[in-house]
Amino acid sequence: MTLHGGIDGRTGSRVSLHVYIDALGRRMIVELRRFCEESRTLDAAFSPTQLPRLLDSVADTAGGVSMQVRGWIDARDRPCLDLRLSGQLWVLCQRCMRPMAVDVEVGQTLAFGDEGADEVLDAESVEVLPLLASVDLADLAEEELLLSLPMLPRHRDCEPPGPATTGVATPFASLKSLLDEAGGSGSTGGQD
């Protein structure tokens, strides 16, 4: 693992000793409380190839996402991170099974503290996580990106692939055959 600094987005100065980034940018570990107490900010950019779990969920290695993180301490003395993610990723259209671009816009506040979220203070935009000594910002970004991807992405206007032009079975085709089987046997019970 290589240790070097990132760029402090607020002051433009190098951040040293606070951020551990490996050579491929896959890990971005900060000392959480220190990062927040010093009101640090950090700008970074990711391509899908740097985030293995995200890579499993996209259709193409093209695209990219920029991230801005701001640390602060809330009224309950909890380290908090404002996480902004913005960019474009390619997912598989579930109708024509071709790649399609989706715009990604995430704005999320993460508060790190012991359980017992305060319903008054913790607005819906605040996600409460267990307190940690250090966090991997790349990991947090990946998690939020996975949550932001559409469940059933579809082009606004496209056609399902014709049987003559492709041999790729769609999830719906197999679902239909399952339904046909269930309907044919007249049974609604599970297999186990």
Given the rule CB under 5 A, which residues bind Zn ion?
A: 93, 95-96, 155, 158
Write the CA distances from 77 to 11, 45, 59, 65, 73, integer angstroms: 24, 29, 41, 30, 6
Q: How far is the CB of 93 from Zn ion (least distance, A)?
A: 3
Lookup result for tokens 């896959």: 26
State in angstroms the smallest separation of the CB of 49 from Zn ion: 24
Q: Which is nearer to Zn ion, 84 or 155 (CB)?
A: 155
Report DSSP state, residue 186: T
Q: Are 36 and 79 in contact (CB under 8 A)?
A: yes
> Residue 51 CB, nearest distance to Zn ion (Å)?
24
Nearer to Zn ion, 59 or 111 (CB): 59
Indicate the DSSP class of residue 50. G
C-alpha 12/C-alpha 4 separation (Å) is 15
Minimum distance between the CB of residue 94 and Zn ion, rounded to whole angstroms?
8
Least distance (Å) between residue 99 CB and Zn ion: 9
- Output 10 or 154, the one with its CB closest to Zn ion: 154
Q: Closest Cα to residue 142, out of 71, 99, 78, 87?
A: 87
User: How many whole angstroms separate alpha carbon 50 and alpha carbon 31?
Assistant: 21
Half-sphere exposure of 190 (CA within 13 A, CB side): 1
Nearer of residues 124 and 157 to Zn ion, judged by Cβ: 157
Q: Which is nearer to Zn ion, 102 or 129 (CB)?
A: 102
